[in-house]
Amino acid sequence: MKARVIVMLKTGVLDPQGEAIRHALGAMGFDGVEGVRQGKVIELELADSTSEDEITRMCERLLANTVIESYRIET
């Protein structure tokens, strides 16, 4: 089975990479870019027996720093 984990900085945590992209897009002439946040996506190829609980544990223990990041699991 495949699972996708999206890890984003929490709202309120400064995102300099996203800010740099927003600024660059503006400088390149793209109008109307109001905000940009950059995060990570982790695509997992897992044994079919893997439970969503186990994926949650992977996120909590390794994939996300839950102090400053939130994660979303898409299966």
List interacting residues with a copy of itself (CB under 8 A).
6, 8, 18, 21, 24-25, 28, 30-47, 49-50, 54, 57-58, 61-63
Residue closer to a copy of itself by CB (options 10, 57) is 57
Two tokens, residue 28: 């390149």
Dihedral angle computed from the Cα positions of residues 50, 52, 56 and 61, in that order, rounded to the nearest 10 degrees: -10
Provide the minimum distance between the beta carbon of 8 and a copy of itself in the complex, in angstroms, as a whole number.
7
Residue closer to a copy of itself by CB (options 10, 40) is 40
Letter string b/e over residues 7-17, b meaning 16 or more CB atoms within 10 A of that residue's CB: bbbeeeeebee
